[in-house]
């Protein structure tokens, strides 16, 4: 009887831990900038990143007829953060421009430091940029 209760408890623990592993948060911070109106929207969908990374500044300009965005991210922690980021571009209709070429890049942000990430549209049709930042451990 004791052995059976122990086996049931072990099985329940294994099922519970499996369920918790499946609940890893992969959401992140999203910064959307409309280069026509100048509006910027910051969405912090990750409770984990919300207290660790802040968007300090968003600037945009144009180079050779293509839109360019500069977004400064700052760490609020004393430890090093390993992040993934990706900048996507959208046309006036909201369609993503060439989504296959935009992969996530690794970003290491030292404690209490800031870094500026820059993205250039790969088409003159790009009018809106979207930066996605996610935790490297959660992404894997």
Q: What is the pLDDT of residues 50-69, one digit of tens each?
A: 889 999 999 999 999 999 99
CB 67 within 8 A of CB 35: yes
Q: Which helix (H) or strand (E) holds 132?
A: strand 128-135
**pLDDT confidence of 49, banded at 50, 70, 90?**
confident
Q: What residue spans define the domains of the chain?
A: 26-139
Query: Which two tokens mark 118?
Result: 């820059």
**Topology (CATH level 3) of domain 26-139:** Immunoglobulin-like (2.60.40)
CB 53 within 8 A of CB 74: yes
**Residue partners of 11: CB distance under 8 A and separation at least 6:** none
For residue 140, pLDDT over 90 is answered with no
Cα(103)–Cα(73) distance, integer angstroms: 19
How much of the chain exceeds pLDDT 90, in percent? 56
φ and ψ of 4, to 5 deg: -65, -45
CB 93 within 8 A of CB 79: no
Q: What is the pLDDT of residues 67-87, one digit of tens each?
A: 999 999 999 999 999 999 999
- Burial of residue 129, with CB atoms counted within 10 A of its CB: 0-12 exposed, 13-18 middle, 19 or more buried: buried
CB 52 within 8 A of CB 28: no
- Sign, CA torsion 56/57/58/62: negative
pTM for this one?
A: 0.77
Residue 5 is predicted with a pLDDT of 63
CB 70 within 8 A of CB 58: yes
Q: What is the mean pLDDT of residues 12-38?
A: 66
Cα(83)–Cα(70) distance, integer angstroms: 17
Q: What is the pLDDT of residues 80-106, one digit of tens each?
A: 999 999 999 999 999 999 888 778 999
């Amino acid at each position: 009887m004791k052995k059976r209760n122990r086996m049931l408890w072990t099985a329940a623990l294994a099922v519970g831990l499996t369920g918790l592993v499946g609940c890893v948060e992969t959401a992140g911070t999203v910064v959307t900038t409309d280069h026509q109106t100048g509006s910027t929207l910051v969405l912090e969908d990750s409770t984990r990143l919300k207290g660790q990374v802040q968007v300090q500044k968003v600037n945009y300009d144009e180079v050779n007829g293509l839109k360019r965005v500069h977004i400064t991210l700052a760490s609020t922690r004393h430890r090093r953060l390993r992040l993934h980021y990706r900048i996507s571009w959208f046309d006036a209709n909201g369609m993503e421009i060439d989504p296959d070429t935009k992969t996530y890049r690794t970003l290491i942000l030292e404690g209490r430091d800031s870094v500026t990430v820059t993205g250039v549209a790969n088409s003159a049709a790009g009018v809106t940029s979207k930066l996605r930042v996610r935790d490297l451990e959660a992404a894997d």
